[in-house]
Amino acid sequence: MSKSSAPRLVEAHEAIASVRDVKTSTTKAALVLDLIRGKTVERALNDLTFCRKKLAPITKKLLLSAIANAENNHQLNVDNLVVARAHADKGAYMKRWMQRAKGRAAPVLKHRCHITIVVAEKAPEAKPAPKAAPKAAKAEKAQAAPKAAPKGDTQTATEQTEA
């Protein structure tokens, strides 16, 4: 008897990749992940290539892994992939001590995080139908609406016709 397969963590049109225990804090990782979230994978890879953050190469490698998972394991079209979700979770941290004045010590926490990227296949967008002549509609509206009296005049339109 074989082991039963675990339930999928993502939907059928998505693929996931994650890396654990990256030597950085979650807030620093979030800066890079905010840069790629919601973009096409081609645009996200380009942005990560030219990003100067320390975490950019790690995130780029992870994104390439998610793309490979989508193509090889889930048979998704690479051209239609977008970065659906990207987040960093807190990992374990190492406790160290730093010397302080008068023989005291202060704790130093060396943070780590877990980064997860989910790519999803987005259906190619159909171009919307062109709108019907907006200039003609504006011209009809302008003819139908009555003209307002100038600001300086206090007389109404009926008083002007009587005078």
For residue 129, what pLDDT is reported?
Answer: 66
Give me the domains of the chain, ranges plus CATH numbers: 14-121 (3.90.470.10)
pTM of whole model > 0.85? no
Per-residue pLDDT at 42: 93
The pLDDT value given to residue 100? 96
Which of 90, 92, 32 lies closest to 63 in space, CA to CA?
Answer: 32
- What is the residue-level pLDDT of the chain in tens, covering all 163 positions? 567 777 777 778 889 999 999 999 999 999 999 999 999 999 999 999 999 999 999 999 999 999 999 898 888 888 889 999 999 999 999 999 999 999 999 999 999 999 999 999 887 776 676 666 666 666 666 676 666 656 665 666 666 666 5
Amino acid identity, position 135: K
At 123 the pLDDT is 76
Q: DSSP character for 40?
A: B
Place of tokens 């259906």: 123
pLDDT for the residue 4: 72
Backbone angles phi, psi at 99, to 5 degrees: -70, 140
Structure tokens at 37: 């979230």
pLDDT at 56: 94
